[in-house]
Amino acid sequence: MPQPAHQLDREAARLFAQLATGEMSSTDFVSLERRLLNDPEFRQAYVEQVELDAEIENQLCTPQVATATVHPTPYFLPATLALAASLLLLAAMLALVLLRDSPVASAPLRLEYVEAQLRGLKPVAIVTQVSEDFPLDDKSIQIGDRVKPGSLRINGGELQLEFLSGVAIRLSGPTEIHLLAQDSATLVHGHAAAIVPPNVSNFTLNGPISAIASGASEFVYSTMSSNQAQIDVYEGEVMTSLLGESGDTLWNEMARSEQSARFQGKSIELVDATFADTDRIRVLPIDDVQLSSSDQYAAAIQADNPLVYWRFDPEQQQGDLIRNTISQRYAGLIHSDDDSVRIEQGSLQFKPSERSRYFKLTEPIPGLNSGEFSIEMWVRPNRMRWGTILGLLPSTQTDEKRELHLTVLEFANQTNLVHRPATMRFLYRYPSTTFDGGMNIFSADSCTPGLWHHVVAVKSKTGISFYLNGKRRQVLDVLEFEDEGAYTAVLGQLDTIRAERQFDGNVDEVAIYSHALSDKDVERHYQIMTGPSPR
């Protein structure tokens, strides 16, 4: 039976007052939202209440407009400003409700990125995922774009960013976020899920309250107004802080795993919570399938006569041993006692570990550096993390604490060298008798976490060349040596001793040649897999 009109009016007035004064709980707010969406009669009474209070407010207050700041100070806001903020929120919410019931088609998804107009700004994040629902001609940013400080808005769908600090953020629209630096951002409204890796000391996500995560943690930040927010902590610890006018902390609470921090305009309340897997906003790689290599690609590699060719298919695997598809020699062996290196969906997968773990040739290659050589592979980094993908090391080492290198291929991000963020690095160092210096090439483009990349490193008599997805960079020099030493290959970390610079991601189709691949060879291999390279 429908409720009497006067009862609906009283309920609408009561709920509006709770929201305007900041006394409404997050649970009640969700219930209010659902009722506005599903009860037309109540929605009409609520709209009338909004219009009535707006008119009263217009008569009693000056015509100044209150704007939300990055750090609200609820202890000092007059009641009229709190009401104004509530009215703005309700107007936006009611607009969405009325649009849903309108016969006019719903607005298409939109994505807007506006870069801060300041000189000298550097990229702070890379776009790793954009919903396919966004029109192609409406995407102001694309997957793989490096974004600088600025504002980012989506009215629906999902978008994922990987900050250069290694923090992954997934936005669910409608959401607006302001990107500030590689370790900080401000959530204006909406929902943001964050995964902070262990090596990040601090990551700050501001909003009505400030959230600072240190070390490994996973949390979801939700806010729809300047005086309401909720932070759900799934793993780790997040320090939540209420900030004052000066930007200093007035009140703080540490939210730990399976806890929620709720802010209702006056204080932060911690409550225990149990989060189902279905409730979590996942931050996932874009491309979670195996590399689509073909028999044609394998035939092209084999036709160029590599010494080593690892495909990581089930027929090449014998326990931890991966057979070379070219000959009975030069197999590879997994060295890991915690399952952080394994074959997964036809590729070699590396996960971070506190222990040393790697993949290594079963026997060294003699005289590899006496002439020309090439290294070719497909690489998919999972996270924005400095990691060694492959190194060529002298088979004879004298230091018990670290090992020397001839060549290093790395996913370079936040290293001790000057370069673009999230690039690939090719280091060649001869004679390999020192731990310092060497010839470096960094890839022309950045690498997008979650996507497969074609990587080729070539040492020839005239210098070194490095290809990323078909694009070449090179350093010219005379590199003719009488070096009959033997070299081994180590994949997944810096060397076999130190559990440092551990690569987090997958590699596949690894080939080592005793000659230099030409530009045409690299282009042919790349085209077979993907089509023409974007030169």
CA 256 to chain centre: 22
251's tokens: 């009140």
Q: Do domains 125-272 and 295-530 have the same CATH topology?
A: yes
Q: Which CATH number fits domain 125-272: 3.40.50.740, 3.20.20.70, 2.60.120.1440, 1.10.760.10?
A: 2.60.120.1440
**Could you say which DSSP state residue 136 is in?**
G
**Residue 349 backbone phi and psi in degrees, to 5:** -105, 135
405 and 389 Cβ atoms separated by less than 8 Å: no
Count Cα atoms within 13 angstroms, Cβ side, for 271: 14
What is the full per-residue pLDDT of the chain (535 aa) written as tens digits?
556 666 777 777 787 677 666 676 656 665 666 676 567 777 777 766 665 665 554 444 444 433 333 343 333 333 444 344 344 444 444 444 444 444 434 567 788 899 988 888 889 999 988 887 777 565 577 888 889 999 999 988 899 999 988 899 999 989 999 999 999 999 999 999 999 988 788 999 999 988 999 888 999 999 988 889 999 999 999 999 988 776 778 888 999 999 999 998 778 999 998 887 666 655 555 555 567 778 899 999 999 999 999 999 999 999 999 999 999 999 999 999 999 999 998 999 999 999 999 999 999 999 999 999 999 999 999 888 899 999 999 999 999 999 999 999 999 987 888 877 889 999 999 888 778 878 999 998 888 888 899 999 999 999 999 999 999 999 988 888 889 999 999 999 999 999 999 999 999 999 999 999 999 999 999 999 987 655 5
* Angle 378-161-189 from CA coordinates, rounded to 5°: 165
Burial of 184 (0-12, 13-18, 19+ CB in 10 A): buried
Tokens of 110: 């939109």
What angle do the packed helices 26-38 and 5-21 form, to 10 degrees? 140
Q: Go through 252-285 and write b for each residue having 16 or more CB atoms within 10 A of its CB, e for each that does not.
A: ebebeeebbbbbbbeebebeebebeeeeebebeb
- C-alpha 258/C-alpha 419 separation (Å) is 40
Indicate the domain borders of the chain: 125-272, 295-530
Type of residue found at 319: G
Yes or no: say if 197 and 167 are a contact pair by the CB < 8 Å rule: yes
Q: Is 442 helix (H, G, I), strand (E, B) or coil?
A: strand
Please tell me the pTM assigned to this model.
Answer: 0.67
The domain made up of 295-530 is a member of CATH 3.30.70.20: no
